[in-house]
């Protein structure tokens, strides 16, 4: 009998990748190796990149992803803000936000930063959220994965690929084969492994705090978040958050983190308005009873207590989710009177207008906003959707193709582009855009089928046909990236 794994277990297995590799390294010795050319001789950065991207495609094939442009853009901007102040040279990162309310974050070789929506939901300050991300960036900058294999006589690059692949197998096949594959790749028992992540975790804490300080954030927030997680675990009868399963937190680690933070410039806790807005937007998204959310927010407004701007924004989002679009527009318009240039409010109003079928009003709003924030990703997404619905798909194609020069690996852009090509009666474009979308979701064979359909349409266009054939060869070759 095939046993399907719950998504919560899948997320835990995904995060286990990080700790597995770090623990395997520490089996060999207590001191960390010095970085040098020897690390790259075992695992090159190019190999890490290829494997990480291949694993990401497989993860997308079976894990629910948050596609919301505002939430994705918030995480993307925060990750790159921190990366610019980290020890990563020339950051080339891919941020993926999983549609899960659980608390978790993980890093995968090749620059993959995975974050659960629940991380934003549960962080009390933006500094706490940034602290978790900075910690994961430190794992990448120190190349803990390559160092793990350099130190371990039992862990090979092939073993790493097998470990990553087995996590995806367990989720997609869901049966004994997947669990057996995972079991054969584990380097040691969990009990032993939990003793071996200390050095790497402490190093990631230390370097992550330096990243926070250089970014103008409170380095003590990392310890604050760890302590809050540990405290919540004491009073919970459930499994601890996945983050604690793969990033063990002890009293000594928290004490050490506070001591290190005290040596860095003190910074007051910061909470940007955008953090509050995205935290509220995420809360509404995960709410099971939207009507109850609306009533709670309205009761807060009636109670006479201070009704914060973020709560008003939450009300607009909740009205929109409940399809009470007149109320949603009234609420977001009130916020725009207060901050007429706020991208989040403009994008949310455009989203509501599109939802209402008022595409002309949406286009007018967005064209005005794009004059002051040209090429903005979030505004462009809503603008393209409005143009497509208004029978101006050719204009949407141009916008989306430009965005793809900046974000070629973002699936949502390819999905909307395929729709725009369809409305423009461009079958060749549809097949090519769909191929890229399927490829980024780990469906390589389906992607190749789309390009096969495209070839006859390009037979009189020599350069286009050559481009399609070359892309097919790239996709076929990538099938071996998980078996390096």
Integer Cα distance of 277 and 73 in angstroms:
13
Give yes or no: 436 in active site.
Answer: no
Residue for token pair 């620059």? 111
* Helix runs in 390-410, H state only: 393-406
Q: How far apart are CA 206 and CA 219, in angstroms?
A: 9
Please identify which of the residues 127, 128, 136, 351 carries the catalytic annotation: 136
DSSP string across 322-377: TT-HHHHHHHHHHHHHH-TT-HHHHHHHHHHHHHTT-HHHHHHHHHHHHHHSTT-H
Q: Using a CB cutoff of 8 Å and minimum separation of 24, what contacts does 120-125 make?
A: 120/71, 120/74, 120/75, 120/278, 120/279, 120/282, 121/279, 121/282, 121/283, 121/286, 123/225, 123/279, 124/224, 124/225, 124/228, 125/218, 125/221, 125/224, 125/269, 125/270, 125/271, 125/275
Query: In residues, how long is the chain?
Result: 484
Q: Which of 119, 256, 149 is nearest to 201 (CA)?
A: 256
Candidate list 205, 242, 426, 481, residue with the active-site label:
205
Contact 297, 320 (CB under 8 A): no
HSE value, Cβ hemisphere, 13 Å, CA-based, for 50: 17
- Where residue 166 falls (left for φ over 0; alpha for ψ -120 to 50; beta otherwise) is alpha
- Are the C-beta atoms of residues 99 and 47 closer than 8 Å to each other? no
Q: Environment class of residue 105 by beta-carbon count within 10 Å: exposed (0-12), middle (13-18) or buried (19+)?
A: buried
Is 205 an annotated catalytic residue?
A: yes
Torsion sign across C-alpha atoms 172, 175, 179, 184: negative
Tokens found for residue 410: 């973002």
Encoding tokens for residue 308?
């914060």
For 348, other C-beta atoms within 10 Å of its C-beta total 26
Q: What distance in Å separates the CA atoms of residue 233 and residue 405, rounded to the nearest whole number? A: 44
CA 365 – CA 363 distance, rounded (Å): 5
Region at 442 (left for phi over 0; alpha for psi -120 to 50; beta for the rest): left
Q: Say what the alpha-carbon torsion angle 25, 27, 32, 37 is, to the nearest 10 degrees.
A: -40
> 10 Å Cβ neighbour count for 116?
25
Which of the residues are catalytic? 136, 205
């Amino acid at each position: 009998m095939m046993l399907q794994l719950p998504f919560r277990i899948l997320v835990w297995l995904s995060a286990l990748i990080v700790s597995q590799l770090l623990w395997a390294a520490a089996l060999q010795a207590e001191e960390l190796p010095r970085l040098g050319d020897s690390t790259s001789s075992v695992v090159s950065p190019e190999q890490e990149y290829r494997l990480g991207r291949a694993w990401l495609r497989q993860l997308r094939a079976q894990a629910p992803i948050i596609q919301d442009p505002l939430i994705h853009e918030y995480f993307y901007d925060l990750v790159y803000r921190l990366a610019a102040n980290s020890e990563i040279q020339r950051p080339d990162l891919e941020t993926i936000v999983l549609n899960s309310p659980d608390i978790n974050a993980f890093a995968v070789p090749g620059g993959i930063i995975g974050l659960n929506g629940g991380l934003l939901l549960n962080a009390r300050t933006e500094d706490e959220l940034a602290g978790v991300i900075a910690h994961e960036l430190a794992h990448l900058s120190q190349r803990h994965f390559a160092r793990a294999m350099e130190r371990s006589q039992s862990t090979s690059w092939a073993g790493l690929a097998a470990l990553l692949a087995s996590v995806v197998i367990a989720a997609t096949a869901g049966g004994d084969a997947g669990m057996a594959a995972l079991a054969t790749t584990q380097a040691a028992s969990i009990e032993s492994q939990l003793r071996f992540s200390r050095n790497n975790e402490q190093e990631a804490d230390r370097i992550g705090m330096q990243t926070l300080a250089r970014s103008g954030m409170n380095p003590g927030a990392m310890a604050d978040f760890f302590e809050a997680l540990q405290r919540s675990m004491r009073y919970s009868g459930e499994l601890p958050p996945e983050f604690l399963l793969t990033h063990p937190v002890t009293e000594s680690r928290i004490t050490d983190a506070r001591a290190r933070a005290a040596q860095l410039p003190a910074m007051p806790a910061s909470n940007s308005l955008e953090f509050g807005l995205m935290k509220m937007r995420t809360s509404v998204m995960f709410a099971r009873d939207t009507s109850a959310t609306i009533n709670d927010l309205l009761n807060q407004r009636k109670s006479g207590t201070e009704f914060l701007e973020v709560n008003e924004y939450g009300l607009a989002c909740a009205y929109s989710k409940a399809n009470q679009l007149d109320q949603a527009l009234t609420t977001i318009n009130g916020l725009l009177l207060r901050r007429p240039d706020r991208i989040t409010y403009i994008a949310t109003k455009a989203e509501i207008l599109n939802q209402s079928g008022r595409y002309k009003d949406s286009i007018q709003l967005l064209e005005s906003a794009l004059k002051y924030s040209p090429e903005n990703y979030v505004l462009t997404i809503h603008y393209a959707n409005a143009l497509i619905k208004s029978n101006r798909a050719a204009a949407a194609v141009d916008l989306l193709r430009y965005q793809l020069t900046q974000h070629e690996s973002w699936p949502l852009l390819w999905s909307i582009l395929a729709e725009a090509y369809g409305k423009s009666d461009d079958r060749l474009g549809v097949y090519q855009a769909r191929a890229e979308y399927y490829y980024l979701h780990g469906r390589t064979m389906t992607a190749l089928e789309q390009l096969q359909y495209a070839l006859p349409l390009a037979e009189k266009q020599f350069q286009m046909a050559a481009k399609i054939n070359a892309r097919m060869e790239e996709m076929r070759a990538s099938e071996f990236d998980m078996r390096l």
